[in-house]
Structures are given as structure tokens and as C-alpha cells.
DNA sequence: TAAATTTTGTTGCATTTACAGCAATAATAA
DNA sequence: TTATTATTGCTGTAAATGCAACAAAATTTA
């Protein structure tokens, strides 16, 4: 049942492509929406954790976040008890953008699930979550330089 | 059940990241494996269709394929009855690489599906296929410049 | 048939992505 | 406490990505 992962890849690329095209309206360039929604939903998150959450390289996240800050969508705040970390928060501008992002996501979701029942959607979600958790472990390991053998 | 699409994104990015790291061994850079496996499995496909299949921009596909050709993994052959199109085929070098790509994919698959039964995997596949078909239509439309309203 | 449109392939350019490698702080071990 | 290791953030560089815009062939329409 190898094709599962290909379906996932196709869906993800198509959705990402659609979002990127649509969010140009908000002056958001490729990928930025991913970070913005998560910062809104997890105020105070640090960029290292955000990269892990999104499953993207640390340095890619660093630059995407840097740009969001320059554009005024988010701000970095120093932590009082830990000089190393910077906590991320959406600004007013970022908060204003969120409903737009949310609505787009909801729309994509309803298109994606057309003809699929509530129960099926729930099953799909549960299964995907299990797959994600399985892959997550592998990703962490490979990213740290470990070699898989097979 | 909005989170379905996020799970898909996380899984796809993690898997792509793993593949890209592992295929450096074969001198394949980011994303090239996607094209190479499909050309192997669909000899004679043209790049326009390949881009649609993978769900990637036409020009991105064009350059990835160009590079695969320069590296000798694939070759482009003119079509006799249609001067515009170029048919893609794997070379010996490409054919030799395929089993490696296949094995990696199979391994990722088995890791991804750890703890998931045959029946569940089949259900997951069927559901994902339906989601993909739904999204595919939307992607084609947005890529052509159509605006969705919601 | 001729004109208009679509399909297919390219290149220029700006941007994102990610690997290396660095620095500074924090956490852990000796 | 001091030394070692891990975490967090950053920049340089090389490469992929994707939009705009073009050209040429094929297909559709008038």
C-alpha cells in the first residue's frame, strides 16, 4: 500500500500551492502562512519548536519568521528567565490576518472533504495522526544526522 | 475536522525532507526523486503531464527534468508525430537508481504504517485518494488563474 | 482556410529553502 | 564548581521554486 505516501505528497503540494497563490493578497509570500497561523494559535512559542511543529528546517523557519517580523505580522519578545530564547507573538496586523487564513483553510478543508461523511473524516484524521506520529520520530532522527538502514 | 490538512502537510514535509537527505547519496538534489520515479513508471510521459501528476509548477518541473537529463538519469526524445512535445525516458543510469528509490519509499511506508492494520491502510488509501481528487480539481483551477470565492 | 486559443517548452528574475558553520546561553556531567 | 554537551538563534552560500513573459507548434473556432 505504498501509494498512500504519494497521495499525501500530491495533496500537500496542491494545497500549499493554492494557499500561496491566495495569500499573496495579504502580502504573504511562500510558506509564511504556516508560521503565522501557528504563532497566533500558540502565542509565546519559540522558533525552534515552531520549526519542529511544521516539520521544516530550523534555518528556513528562522528566515520566514524574520520576514514576518520585518513585515510587522509578528514580534519577538525576550524571555525574562532565559536570555537565549525569543518568544513569538502576533501583532495587531497579524491578528487581523488570521481570520482570512482561517477562512481559506476552512474552505480548502470543505472542498477536500466533499462527498466524505463525518465518520469517514474522523477515521481519516485518526489514521493520519498515527502516521504523522510514526514519521515524526523518523524525521527527528534523520534530521539529527542518524542514518536509517533498510 | 480542519486538522486533517495540517496532518497531511506535516507528514509530507517530513517525508520529503527524509528522502532528500537520503538521496544525496545518489547525487539527487531536492525533489529530483519525485520526477525520476514517475518517469521510470510512466516511460514516454511529457513534462507538462508530469508536473500535473506531481502537483508542482510547470517551470519547476522543467528545470528539475533538465537537470536529470544533464546528469544522465533520463533522456528526452522527440515525438515523431508532434514536434512540440518531448517524451521522457529513464536511461540505464536512471533504471539503476530506481530500486534504491523504491526501497527507500517502501521503508518509509512501513515506518509510516507501523501499528496500522491492512484494513486500516486500505481505508486510509481510499479516503486519501478521494481527497486528492477533490483537491486536484481545485488546484488545476487556481493554477490557471481562477479565483475561488468563499 | 484563416484566425484565435490552447498546449508545451524555455529563460529571466526574485524569493524561499536548507546545509554548514558560528556564537552565545543553558543544561548536564564530572 | 568546572567542563562538556545540548539548545537556540543567526549568517554565508548554493540550489530549488515559481511567477512573468516569450516562442512555437497544435488544436479549436469562425
Q: What is the pLDDT of residues A22-77, one digit of tens each?
A: 999 999 999 999 999 999 999 999 999 999 999 999 999 999 999 999 999 999 99
Claim to verify: residue B95 and residue B125 sit in the same structural domain: no
CATH number for B14: 1.10.10.10
pLDDT in tens, B10-31: 999 999 999 999 999 999 999 9
Claim to verify: residue B96 and residue B127 sit in the same structural domain: no
- B63 contact to strand D (CB, 7 A limit): yes
Claim to verify: residue A103 and residue A126 sit in the same structural domain: no
B115-122 — which CB contacts under 8 Å span 24+ positions? B115/A130, B115/A134, B116/A127, B116/A130, B116/A131, B118/A1, B120/A127, B121/A1, B121/A4, B122/A1
Claim to verify: residue B70 and residue B101 sit in the same structural domain: yes
pLDDT at residue A1 above 80? no
d(CA B2, CA B6) in angstroms, rounded, equals: 8
pLDDT of residue A148: 86
Query: Which residue, A59, A1, A6, A65, is CA-closest to A31?
Result: A65
Residue B133, number of CB atoms within 10 A of its CB:
15
Is the pTM higher than 0.85? The answer reads: yes
B8, B33, B60: best to mutate for the A interface, most A CBs within 10 A = B8
Confidence of residue B2 (pLDDT cuts 50, 70, 90): low
Claim to verify: residue B72 and residue B104 sit in the same structural domain: yes
Claim to verify: residue A44 and residue A101 sit in the same structural domain: yes
Claim to verify: residue B79 and residue B29 sit in the same structural domain: yes
**Minimal Cα–Cα distance from B81 to chain A, Å?**
31
pLDDT of residue A147: 87
Claim to verify: residue A35 and residue A89 sit in the same structural domain: yes
Claim to verify: residue A88 and residue A148 sit in the same structural domain: no
Residues 6+ apart with CB under 8 A from A11: A112, B5, B8, B12, B128, B131, B132, B135
pLDDT at residue B1 above 90? no
CA of A32 to C1' of C7 (A): 32
Question: What would the grid cell of residue A53 be?
Answer: 511543529
Claim to verify: residue B105 and residue B88 sit in the same structural domain: yes
**Which residues 28-87 of B have a C-beta within 8 angstroms of A?**
34, 53-57
CA of A46 to C1' of C29 (A): 27
Q: Is A24 on the interface with B (CB under 8 A)?
A: no
Q: Which residues constitute the domain of residue A120?
A: 116-150
DSSP designation for A146? P
Write down which residues 44-103 in B have CB closer than 7 A to strand C. 46-49, 58-59, 62-63, 65-66, 76, 84-86
Residue range B83-88: mean pLDDT, rounded: 96
Claim to verify: residue A96 and residue A72 sit in the same structural domain: yes
Residues 6+ apart with CB under 8 A from A37: A98, A101, A102, A105
**Average pLDDT over all residues of chain B:** 95
A3, A99, A124, A147: best to mutate for the B interface, most B CBs within 10 A = A124
pLDDT in tens, A90-148: 999 999 999 999 999 999 999 999 999 999 999 999 999 999 999 999 999 999 888 88
The tally of domains found in chain B comes to 2
Claim to verify: residue B134 and residue B91 sit in the same structural domain: no
Residue range B38-60: mean pLDDT, rounded: 97
Amino acid at each position: 500500500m505504498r501509494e498512500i505516501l504519494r497521495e499525501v505528497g500530491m495533496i500537500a503540494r496542491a494545497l500549499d500551492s493554492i494557499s500561496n497563490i491566495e495569500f499573496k493578497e495579504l502580502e504573504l509570500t511562500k510558506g509564511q502562512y504556516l508560521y503565522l497561523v501557528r504563532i497566533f494559535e500558540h502565542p509565546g512559542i519559540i522558533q525552534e519548536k515552531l520549526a519542529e511543529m511544521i516539520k521544516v528546517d530550523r534555518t528556513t523557519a528562522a528566515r520566514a519568521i524574520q520576514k514576518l517580523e520585518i513585515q510587522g505580522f509578528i514580534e519577538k519578545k525576550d524571555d525574562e528567565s532565559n536570555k537565549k530564547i525569543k518568544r513569538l507573538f502576533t501583532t495587531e496586523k497579524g491578528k487581523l490576518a488570521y481570520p482570512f487564513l482561517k477562512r481559506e483553510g476552512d474552505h480548502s478543508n470543505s472542498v477536500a472533504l466533499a462527498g466524505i461523511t463525518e465518520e469517514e473524516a474522523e477515521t481519516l484524521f485518526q489514521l493520519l495522526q498515527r502516521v504523522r506520529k510514526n514519521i515524526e520520530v523518523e524525521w527527528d532522527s534523520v534530521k539529527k544526522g542518524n542514518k536509517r538502514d533498510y
